[in-house]
Amino acid sequence: MRRRLRGLLGLAIGGLVLAACTDTLPQSSFNSAGDVAQQQKDLLIPIIVIATVIFVLVEGALVWFLYKYRHREGSEPLQVHGNSRLEIAWTIAPALILAIITVPTVSMIYALAKAPAGKSMTVYAVGHQWWWEFDYPDLNITTANELYIPDDTQVYVKLCAAGTTNSGTPVGAPCTVPAPAVGEAVVHSFWVPRLAGKQDVVPGRTNTMTIEANEPGVYPGQCAEFCGLSHAFMRFKVIAQTPTDFQAWVTNQQAEAPTPVAGSAADGGLQVFNTAGCIGCHTIGGVSEGIGGPNLTHFGARDCFAGCMLSVTEENLSKWLHDPASVKPGSFMPNLNLTDDQVTSLVAYLESLK
């Protein structure tokens, strides 16, 4: 008994210590890093305070009554059944509290649902099984798993789910040029806790949300709606940059993929890419126009791949190319039975795509 108490006490203290250092948590709504998240947090905190006060009062009264009116020989508590005043009070009080919470909540839902009016940019976030595609319609850029944004700018995110419906119809529009994606069109949820609350990504409709980062930085996000086998590996990063750095990124992304030096390992990789089956699914600017898989034009400039489940290293890439589904359960990238040499040169090629 005493040991269990000590365990509980440890848990409680641990929780308090953790709560005290939210500033270092990369995926905490309490550690807001932009105006949208800040507004939501400013609403969340008073609601938590109200809920906590009510919890303590109600549970405290419950425990007190349990103790006070515990069973004792010959003691029958005063019966108050049918006390109209009490019943009216505890019907009206919760209704009032809910009304107090509803008004600011609903008005904020409407305020945040509007398209941004000031300095803004539109991106499409497309949920695939199980990775994120990011399209910049005005900049003509398509990338995956890493969403680059300028800081101090409202980014209007249009959310679409890509894939095929039960009846075999490909969906994805209007986010993408309707390209038949691999996998099923299912519900995902786009969530970058430090930049905004979560929003569902629903096949056949376009939900929108605004995210904003006040400072340059890397803000991890993840799919927050169960979407199949590798849902837990459907992560992504938002990388906020100064406008100058962002412009440099844009210029580089808009360029076609660099061509490897003839005879180099990367050049051998390009040959494998062209002949082993990769071109069916992957687009590389100036090389191939595949559909279904992530655009790899500047793959070598990314930090992570496979839904940000893995960082871009030779070891991870090699493991992945040998047998994707053994790394990421259910992966729609097939095992192409590549030889060790083919994998080595493909890795060199992918890493050269800066």
150 Cβ contact list (under 8 Å, min separation 6): 121, 240, 241, 242, 243, 246
**What is the bridge-based pairing of β-strands 146-150 and 235-241?**
parallel
In this structure, are residues 162 and 176 in contact, taking their beta carbons and an 8 Å threshold?
Answer: yes
Task: Please report where in the chains the tokens 């969906």 appear, as a residue.
Answer: 171
In this structure, are residues 197 and 39 in contact, taking their beta carbons and an 8 Å threshold?
Answer: no
Judged by CB under 6 A, does residue 133 bind ligand CUA? no
Whichever of 187 and 336 has its CB closer to ligand CUA, that residue is 187
In the complex, minimum distance from the CB of residue 322 to ligand CUA, in angstroms, rounded to a whole number: 25
Of positions 33, 123, 126, 127, contacts ligand CUA by CB under 6 A: 127
Q: Which of 208, 215, 199 is nearest to 35 (CA)?
A: 215
At 300, list the tokens: 């070598």
Of positions 196, 234, 306, 343, contacts ligand CUA by CB under 6 A: 234
At 275, list the tokens: 């002949």
Of positions 223, 287, 304, 338, contacts ligand CUA by CB under 6 A: 223
In the complex, minimum distance from the CB of residue 40 to ligand CUA, in angstroms, rounded to a whole number: 21
Of positions 145, 163, 188, 344, contacts ligand CUA by CB under 6 A: 188
The contact pattern for ligand CUA, residues 237-276, with x = CB under 6 A and - = no contact, is ----------------------------------------
In this structure, are residues 160 and 124 in contact, taking their beta carbons and an 8 Å threshold?
Answer: yes
Amino acid at 48: I
In the complex, minimum distance from the CB of residue 223 to ligand CUA, in angstroms, rounded to a whole number: 3
Whichever of 146 and 351 has its CB closer to ligand CUA, that residue is 146
Helix (H, G, I), strand (E, B) or coil at 165: coil
Whichever of 235 and 282 has its CB closer to ligand CUA, that residue is 235
Please report, as ranges, the residues that interact with ligand CUA according to CB under 6 A. 127, 130, 188, 223, 225-227, 231, 234
